[in-house]
Amino acid sequence: MEDILVPKERRDAVVFIGVDRGENVEFVKVYAVSEEVAARTLEEFFNARGLFPSDFFLVDKGVESLKGKGAITTRSETGLSAKLSRLGLRLLSNGVLYTKGLESVYQLTLVSERLLGEFQESEKAKRSELTKLKLLTLGESTLVENLRDADITAYLPKGVKFLREPPVERVAEILAAGETVVVETKDAGKYERLGFSIFIRIPPLSSEEFAEAVSEELGFRVDPGIFERLPPHKRGYSSAKAIARLAKKLRVRTGRNWEELLRLAVRIHLGEV
């Protein structure tokens, strides 16, 4: 049974896993020639690895097109590798599945309880943000304090006047004329006396969310603790992209380690250098 853990050429099924720094399995994906083979392979893998099925949750299953792919390997699954890397996981497999003559394979995807919890928290935050932004479709004058730099333009009614950080006097004139306007700002206090019909506050990213955004830009997991000192108005997606961009350029010039470079990029972004 331990043969399933040995990387080799395979014709029936292959197992991909995502492991953290402690080599704990947090993600499992099985590709197989049929549903029955996939289920059997998964059971054999769990037994050989000493894992408990109850510790994992099935999040996806079904037929997947091969699209002319002659083999499934870690090299062919670059998208999966990148996604796992952003979660702090390393992609491993028990070999290569040759798929010549097949048009599709059956796949099972499972995640650990910890990883599922991360996904659910992320989705919960996104749903809350979307619910707030849907208020824009009401077509009323709205003040949006957008501390995370979320893109709100898709929710704006057609033809509505949209301004970012406009002078207070200009907004007052527009409202006095009975026109509808949506104002986006990072400091709602400047406009609160103007009497908007709707006020939407989109909170800044948490340290964990900010780290996830930077990880997306860099392609690997970064420590949320690096960003704890960022003030609320600097905890948006634009700042995350700017810090990642700075770190990349500093890496080319200095070759120093990523954590050191990210901390330096934060200082530069805050004007402390």
Q: What's the Cα-to-Cα distance from 58 to each of 27, 29, 115, 268, rounded to whole Å?
A: 10, 10, 12, 43
Give me the pLDDT at residue 16, please: 95
57-82 per-position pLDDT tens digit: 998 889 988 877 889 988 888 778 87
d(CA 266, CA 272): 9
7: left (phi over 0), alpha (psi -120 to 50) or beta: beta
Kindly report the pTM of this predicted structure: 0.56
97-108 per-position pLDDT tens digit: 998 888 899 999
Give me the pLDDT at residue 120, please: 66
Ranges of each domain in the chain = 2-114, 121-202, 207-269
125-168 per-position pLDDT tens digit: 666 666 778 888 888 999 999 999 988 888 888 888 999 999 99
Q: What stretches of the chain adopt beta strand conformation (E)?
A: 8-10, 13-19, 25-32, 56-65, 71-72, 90-93, 95-98, 104-112, 142-146, 161-164, 181-185, 198-202
